[in-house]
Amino acid sequence: MKFLTGIPVVDGVVIGEAYLLDTENYAVTQRFVHPPTPAAAEREWARFQGATENAKLAVASELDENVREKRLTDSTAKIFHGHKEMFDDPSIAKYVRERVFESYWSPEYAVSRKLNSIRKQWSAIPILRQRLSDLDDVQNRWLQQLLGKKREGLRDLDRDVILIARDLTPAQTANLPLKWVRGFATELGGKTSHTAIIAQSRQIPAVVGVNGLTAVLGGGETVIVDGLEGQVIIDPDPGTVAQYRERQEKYERYLRELEELRLLPAETRDGARVRIFANIEYPEEIESAVAAGAEGIGLYRTEFLYEHGRPEPDEEEHFRAYSKAVDLLGGKPLVIRTLDLGADKFTPEGFADEQNPFLGCRSIRYCLLERRDVFEQQLRAILRVSAMGDVRIMLPMISSLEELELAKKIIEGVKLGLREQGVPFNEEILVGIMIEVPSAALMADVLARHADFFSIGTNDLVQYTLAVDRVNARVAELYQPTHPAVFRLVLQTIEAARRQGIPVSICGELSGEPHFALPLVGLGMRDLSMTSSTIPRVKRFIRSISALEAGRTIDKVLAQETATESLDMLLLRAQEIDPELYGSPAESLT
């Protein structure tokens, strides 16, 4: 029996036969056009163009089938629209054409060299490192067409299996036959990769980033994939299998209970009402968010409009995206975060060459200092949409009163322009800020007098407070949301908002972990915004506690001297409150 640990990306426990999937990445050695003549080069260039069109048709065909069969949602389907756009990337076509006509390289060698060069660039950028499997998908499709290879499939399976692979591309994940594939584990991958996102949308129990996984499996072994704890157990003994079967049954009962309470209010046993909102990236996610019990959208990320390969959006494209969200919400509030571009996200100009991009010209700084035209264009669209429903503006990465005042001045200027044009908008639209850098938390009493609401972005607040890059694996264990300094900054922000009488919410990942509901409610937080899939379990947890108990818990948490002590105390209490999710305090499955 062997235990391996990875990153849990989709909850669930599955037990079954390991099915080892060979990789389908193609190695292309240096090849040349033969004979090396302009006529032969023209013929090879035509072959590349034909392969490109065929690859695009293959993506479109699979996409249509997956959407029709409901294996993809509208938002996950956008991933494959991005793949199609890569086939039209003029820089790739230009490179291949030059290599074919000037160096007489074969088109398969040229495209392989170009995409490998892009891979090196992406590998150096944290957010794009999570998208390398997308690049593999595109390269495989191109080379399949050029080399005449068939794409490996799993459609001939006739038995239940657990898929084991070094990595899965988004297309492979979307096409997994769930009749037979009960779960999967991969050696590579991360929590925010497109493969993980698609697995979440299809609800396939999965663990990724399991080091050494394929080296210790040959296929056919019994394996357990625990998507709750991020464990893969190879050749478990009968006692371990029995324990995990019991855990599997408990989790299935737990899911049935969640379904029964998802539309009930998040109210503590002693009557404290907590409002639950959803974080989204695409308007298409709203339907599932409301179905999960969201009372509105607390964070609408708008950077998707600037995804790599897309032309820079105009005001009308912004307006269409936001108005669609308002329509889908049917009167529920929509908090639109203005653009958080830069750092690990694309800007219209690409990535800026900055030595410390997370400390550089990102987010509100980018909008105020470099691309005010982009900022004003987005604000015009948001204000126009505000005439249609309960829409609010949220400014990210505010670090000083000067930034907030300048942003508000620009908003007033945009309002003036709309008035002069006779364009309707909500004159009283709320303008809030995200508290996600220590300076904002420390100055919360001042900022509260100039903002209509606060939303605490714990992801960046933890990162900047502890000086830890949250996507750097080398220091990942130092990224500690339970650090006493983080809780103190959160408490200080809440108290400042309360004194000024403005609402305050949390929209970072912290709010989506049920065991954090206890200290957050204890701190006085009554608005939480999170990923839609986590809403039912957080709601269940809140309905299992009392606000009085939560207040006592936060007093104990704030008295701790280390993050480990705080986390251990919270997890132990969570086990007592919700043993179905966290396991009994006395239970050990390892």
Is the separation of the CB atoms in 365 and 397 below 8 Å?
yes
- End-to-end C-alpha distance for the chain, whole angstroms: 11
Q: Which residue has 């608005």 as its token pair? A: 527
- Can you tell me the distance from the alpha carbon of 589 to that of 472, in angstroms, rounded to the nearest whole number? 29
Residue 399 gets which letter from DSSP?
A: -
User: Could you tell me which residues come within 8 angstroms of residue 234 by beta carbon, excluding any fewer than 6 positions away?
Assistant: 1, 2, 4, 18, 216, 217, 221, 222, 223
Q: What three-state secondary structure class fits 335?
A: strand
Quickly count: other Cβ atoms within 10 Å of residue 389's Cβ.
18
Residues comprising the chain, all counted: 590
Burial of 526 (C-beta count, 10 Å sphere; 0-12/13-18/19+): middle
Count the alpha carbons within 13 Å of 339 in the hemisphere toward its beta carbon: 32
User: Could you tell me which residues come within 8 angstroms of residue 192 by beta carbon, excluding any fewer than 6 positions away?
Assistant: 127, 130
User: Could you tell me which residues come within 8 angstroms of residue 533 by beta carbon, excluding any fewer than 6 positions away?
Assistant: 200, 292
Ramachandran assignment for 161, one of left (phi > 0), alpha (psi -120 to 50 degrees), beta (any other): beta
Catalytic residues: 194, 507
Distances 215 to 165, 218, 230, 455 between C-alpha atoms, Å: 10, 8, 18, 45
User: Could you tell me which residues come within 8 angstroms of residue 305 by beta carbon, excluding any fewer than 6 positions away?
Assistant: 313, 317, 318, 321
Q: Which residue has 């997956």 as its token pair? A: 66
Q: What three-state secondary structure class fits 10?
A: strand
Quickly count: other Cβ atoms within 10 Å of residue 460's Cβ.
21
Is the separation of the CB atoms in 243 and 13 below 8 Å?
no
CA 357, 358, 361, 367 torsion: positive or negative? positive
As a three-state string, the secondary structure of 19-33 is EEECCCCCCCCCCEC
Single out the residue of 397, 426, 400 nearest to residue 414, CA to CA: 426
Residue 569 tokens read as 């105390």
User: Could you tell me which residues come within 8 angstroms of residue 123 by beta carbon, excluding any fewer than 6 positions away?
Assistant: 129, 132
Is the separation of the CB atoms in 434 and 407 below 8 Å?
no
Ramachandran assignment for 128, one of left (phi > 0), alpha (psi -120 to 50 degrees), beta (any other): alpha
Q: Which residue has 């995990």 as its token pair? A: 244
Element (H, E) at 9: strand 7-10
Asked if residue 313 has a cis previous peptide bond (ω within 30° of 0), the answer is no
Helix residue ranges per DSSP H, 448-532: 458-466, 484-500, 514-522
